Structure 1
Amino acid sequence: MEKKVYELLNDQINKEFYSAYLYLSFADYYEEEGLSGFANWYEIQAQEERDHALILRNYLHENGCKVKLGAIAQPDLEFTSHLGPLEAALEHEKYITSTINDIYDAAMEAKDWRTMKFLDWFISEQQEEEDNADTMVTRMKLFGSDAKALYDLDQENAARVYVVPSPLANA
């Protein structure tokens, strides 16, 4: 594997673990606000991000590459509204999409077809992640100021269940 592609993939592992930390901090915020359904949503998001890191880790190992884990930064965002974490999540997912795209660009430049194929799953996943984050922002803006509607949104988020991502389920 070309050095730049390897380094970007290895760095992405850290970014995915940071995403898990970030989403756990969102879950904590919502739990402390009495919105355990939103907390559930972000606990599952954190699991998914951890899974993304493991998928990347497995891929590097499958290609004979050494994994180098870095320190994970502490999330430092503070919120004053229920909308805050949702907007931060959308912004963060757009950032993660850009980093996946950067890896894809490096793989294309290196003619690393295997890595490009591997990244196809992440590209589709990021489209779903951004769409979910955008939907949550929109719903909070539309309904979050109404206590009954906020309760309904919270109950909807409480019903979310964790599903193992296909690359791990097939591993």
Structure 2
Amino acid sequence: MKDIARQQLSIQVESMDLLNGQIKMEAHASAAYLAMASWCEQNGFFTSAKFFFQQSDEERGHMMKIFRFLVDAGGNPISPEVTGINHEFSSILDVFESSLEHEIRVTESIKNIVKKARASVDITTERFLDWFILEQVEEENTIRDILDMIELTGMEGVGKQLIDDKVADWIEG
């Protein structure tokens, strides 16, 4: 019976396994952004903390979107264990650079799943991930814009406060 059920999935088993890996990556992102929010709070970057709390919620939403997709497709989503979260940063610049590095890894992971879904003609999974591809363009662009703003503002004197104040431009209301 188990083999018949797995043949009845709306997606292929390989895609399900890759999406479970993506669930774990999104959960890790959510926890990483909470750590970044905490660092910002502890170091007086209160607007940036609010930004990262929002990012954490968004990443959890991404995780749940994939989780629900797997349920709807007859798959077996796995609730991930999250470990290895960095809580130490040297500066607000380090926080945002770490964020960009993470977003790039997430983008590459999603692209990899799309490529494998396309190669195995898993159209359901490929179409589902279209939204995530566009979301990642937006996520990376936001962080790059903030990093550009940090570079223009500078990290000296009141620059740190100006940076934190300006991050409000990227917080969704």
**Deviations for 1:29-50, whole angstroms, at most 9, x for unmatched residues?**
1111101000000000000000
Superposed displacement of residue 74, structure 1: 3.3
Please tell me whether residue 100 in structure 1 is matched to residue 110 in structure 2. Answer: yes
Conserved 8 A contact 2:19-2:66: yes
Superposed displacement of residue 77, structure 1: 4.9
Conserved 8 A contact 1:40-1:157: no
Tell me the equivalent position of 1:27: 37
| TM alignment of 1:1-171, pairs within 5 A | 1-158=11-168, 160-161=171-172
CA distance in 1 between partners of 2:116 and 2:65 (Å):
19
Task: Name which one, 1 or 2, has greater alpha-carbon Rg.
Answer: 2
Superposed displacement of residue 104, structure 1: 0.2
- The 3-state SS of whatever aligns with 2:75 is coil
Conserved 8 A contact 1:60-1:67: yes
Conserved 8 A contact 1:21-1:46: yes
Conserved 8 A contact 2:16-2:76: no
- Percent identical: 30
User: What is the TM-score of this pair, normalised by structure 1?
Assistant: 0.88
Superposed displacement of residue 63, structure 1: 0.4
- Between the two proteins, the alignment pairs up a number of residues equal to 162
- The 3-state SS of whatever aligns with 1:6 is helix
Gaps of 5+ in 1: 163-171
Conserved 8 A contact 1:36-1:158: no
CA distance in 2 between partners of 1:156 and 1:54 (Å):
30
Gaps of 5+ in 2: 1-10
- The 3-state SS of whatever aligns with 1:70 is coil
User: What is the TM-score of this pair, normalised by structure 2?
Assistant: 0.87
Conserved 8 A contact 2:24-2:80: yes
Relative contact order: is structure 1 or structure 2 higher (C-alpha 8 Å, sep ≥ 6)? 1
Superposed displacement of residue 151, structure 1: 2.5
CA RMSD, 1 decimal? 1.5
